[in-house]
Amino acid sequence: MYLHLTTLLDLDQEPIGTVSAQFVGGAFSNTFMIVATTPNETGGTVALHPYGPFATSDDAHAWAAAHLAPYDTAYTVAPLATPYTDAEANSRLRKPIRPSTTTRPARATTIARHLKTHDLTRLRHTASTHTSRRGFTARETEHPELGPVVHLAALGPDPYQRDRDHNFIKAVLRRDHPRYEVADQHTHLLVRQLSDAELHARADQAAARVAPHIAAFATN
């Protein structure tokens, strides 16, 4: 999960700087953040807009009252926990976390289903790169260094659109699906599914990177 944390405020207490992290969070110490909600263009899925963090709940409510309430924007104030590592969690648990080291291969059908929600169509893997149809191919293969991977390639009649789709697919998988590791090979993408142990290790690294930003803000 990507969480966008605003750590810098200007003289008007407007958030002006963010640090983004991908991590598993905990509840050792809290600041507060505002999460505003707005429907998307179709009125369906709700989009989340985070503001903060703020040192106290009162500070967050005051900012929201001044900057969001006048526009009838729905919002909630939520505690923001400093993330912790598996080692810290294990010290508080009777049953320690033991992530599986088994790696399940990524599946072409699963990835294609993810991309379909973004109006990207899966085409036959035998289709030409310059096909008149816009889309992508997805096939499972074995890489000598990465192991089982899904090979993705953007197709279409327009090189500019192919390049945009290539980068869009990469961004979607990296942003919304942290279990996937995406290697950009310029003409195609190789997607590997991380084991539980790898995912936890990356979450620990991200938690360690972002924790000082939250802790520094809380002590100011």
Q: Please state the domain extents for the chain.
A: 2-98+200-219, 108-194
> Directed axis angle between helix 108-116 and helix 159-176, to 10°?
100
Mean pLDDT by 10 residues, the chain (220 residues): 42 49 46 74 60 80 88 80 68 72 87 93 90 93 94 94 94 84 94 86 70 59
pLDDT at 186: 92
**How far is the first Cα of the chain from the last one, in angstroms, to the nearest whole number?**
27
pLDDT at 187: 94
pLDDT at 90: 73
pLDDT at 45: 47
pLDDT at 108: 95
22 and 7 Cβ atoms separated by less than 8 Å: no
Long-range contacts of range 35-44, CB-CB < 8 Å, 24 or more positions apart? 35/75, 35/76, 35/78, 36/64, 36/68, 36/73, 36/74, 36/75, 37/73, 37/74, 37/75, 37/76, 38/73, 38/74
The two structure tokens encoding residue 191: 């997607």
